[in-house]
Amino acid sequence: MIKPLTPQFRSDILESLNKQLEELNSCENNSYVVLQKNTINQFKKLIKSLPDGYPIPVERRKWKMNKYEKAFDVIDTILHLMCGEEREDGYKPSQDEMVNSMEDFKELVERATPKKICHTKEEGSFTFNFGRCECGREILSANDYVKYCPCCGQALDWRVEDEKI
């Protein structure tokens, strides 16, 4: 669905982006959070600069849902349907949507589970650690270990064997 941008719609979008920023501000300020904040701020700039009437793609009720929110929405709807509660818009997830939502959740769990980093090189014994995430991003960690890949958000495990950090 395409909706033309109006002053009201613009302020709704900005409000929802500000809400997301607020939530992120209450998170630990890791590199992944910083990255998301930057993306949202860039998006805010873009929305502010777009002229009235600019066509904005929207999905069902929410202006924009990422795939995990969508997966949550599907599962949430199914649970309500199981209790005999239908949604106001009459939406019922298809079999495919249910299967895809479970796959998306699985992916989310995998990403939040620390994966061993591929150590590329080490300089000295305590100064810098270099590693590569599965997505190919080279990560430099000094003193403190980077917990999440700033590129894809994968949780990282810096242990070489089973040593404790």
Residue numbers of the site for Zn ion (CB under 5 A)? 133, 135, 137, 149, 151-152, 154
Print the SS3 string covering 19-57: HHHHHHHCCCCCHHHHHHHHHHHHHHHHHHHCCCCCEEE
Q: Tell me which amino acid residue 131 is.
A: G
* C-beta of 17 vs 133, nearer to Zn ion: 133
Nearest to 35 by CA among 155, 157, 152: 152
The nearer residue to Zn ion, 13 or 33, going by C-beta atoms, is: 33
Distance CA 87, CA 65 (A): 17
Of the two residues 3 and 106, which places its CB atom closer to Zn ion in the complex?
106
Give me the least distance between CB of 153 and Zn ion, in Å please: 7
| Shorter beta-carbon distance to Zn ion: residue 17 or 149 | 149
Sequence-distant (6+) residues with CB within 8 A of 140 are: 128, 129, 130
Quote the least distance from Cβ 157 to Zn ion, whole Å.
Answer: 13
Q: Residue 134: name the closest of 161, 162, 113 by CA.
A: 113
CB of 2 to Zn ion, least distance (A): 33
How far apart, in whole angstroms, are the C-alpha atoms of residue 155 and residue 23? 20
- Cβ closer to Zn ion: 152 or 160? 152
Are residues 138 and 127 in contact, defined by beta-carbon separation less than 8 angstroms?
A: no
CB of 19 vs Zn ion, minimal distance in Å: 27
- Work out how close the CB of 136 gets to Zn ion at its nearest, in angstroms, rounded to a whole number: 7
